[in-house]
Amino acid sequence: VSKPVVKDNGIRPSSYEKMAKLKPAFIKPHGTITAANSSFLTDGASACLIMSEEKALAMGLKPKAYLRDFVYVSQDPKDQLLLGPTYATPKVLERAGLTMNDIDVFEYHEAFAGQILANLKAMDSDYFAKTQMGRKAKVGIPQMEKFNNWGGSLSIGHPFGATGVRLVTTAAHRLQQEDGQFALVAACAAGGIGHGMLVERYPS
């Protein structure tokens, strides 16, 4: 059973003061991304059983959630490498006829602290929506009291190949424990790819 993460469990043999002095990993000397504010690689494995509701019930299985819809998006990796959630979020919401206010649980992959902050800023910008996405208005940012409440990739790690299932199963468990109906899962990926998925709680 999933449980909320209440403390960063990354292995960092250092102090906050030393981590704050780390040099940027990419755009030197002015970048903001360091080893201390990036998701760390962890060991992990995942498995997820996806089937029709009819088949699951026929086999005597109790579904956790419906996977209602999903989208994949792509951006120019030169300037918008990790902005997948910004592009995917409004698309998956529109396909389902929902708005940000209809979402009870948000689970977004956190590649870097700067990456998630850049997405939140872009999602809250009418200018970005109009000039970069060809949209009439911004989608808006998730309510922070609903956002990655059990810890994200920055605090619990990013096991390559397992994070996607971790996001979806965490969203499903949160819907049950927090008595919500809809969850929105979003992630960026290498090469300028992005993903958004709508998950709905299975009735108890």
Residue 143: CA count within 13 A, CB half-sphere = 10
Which pLDDT score, from 0 to 100, does residue 43 have?
Answer: 80
Do 202 and 97 touch, CB atoms closer than 8 A?
Answer: no
Which pLDDT score, from 0 to 100, does residue 31 have?
Answer: 83
Which pLDDT score, from 0 to 100, does residue 184 have?
Answer: 98
Burial zone of 107 (CB within 10 Å; 0-12 exposed, 13-18 middle, 19+ buried): buried
Topology, domain 53-201 = Peroxisomal Thiolase; Chain A, domain 1 (3.40.47)
The residues, any chain, with a CB within 8 Å of residue 102's CB and separated by 6 or more, are 93, 181, 182
What is the Cα–Cα distance from 122 to 139, expressed in whole angstroms?
9
pLDDT tens digit at each of 204 positions of the chain: 555 555 555 666 678 888 888 888 888 888 888 877 877 778 888 899 999 999 999 999 999 999 999 999 998 888 888 899 999 999 999 999 999 999 999 999 988 888 999 999 999 999 999 999 999 999 999 999 999 999 888 888 888 888 899 999 999 999 999 999 999 999 988 888 899 999 999 998
pTM of the entire structure?
A: 0.86
Q: Which CB contacts under 8 angstroms, 24+ apart, belong to 115-121?
A: 115/82, 115/188, 116/152, 116/154, 118/82, 118/83, 119/82, 119/83, 119/85, 119/86, 119/188
The residues, any chain, with a CB within 8 Å of residue 161's CB and separated by 6 or more, are 44, 46
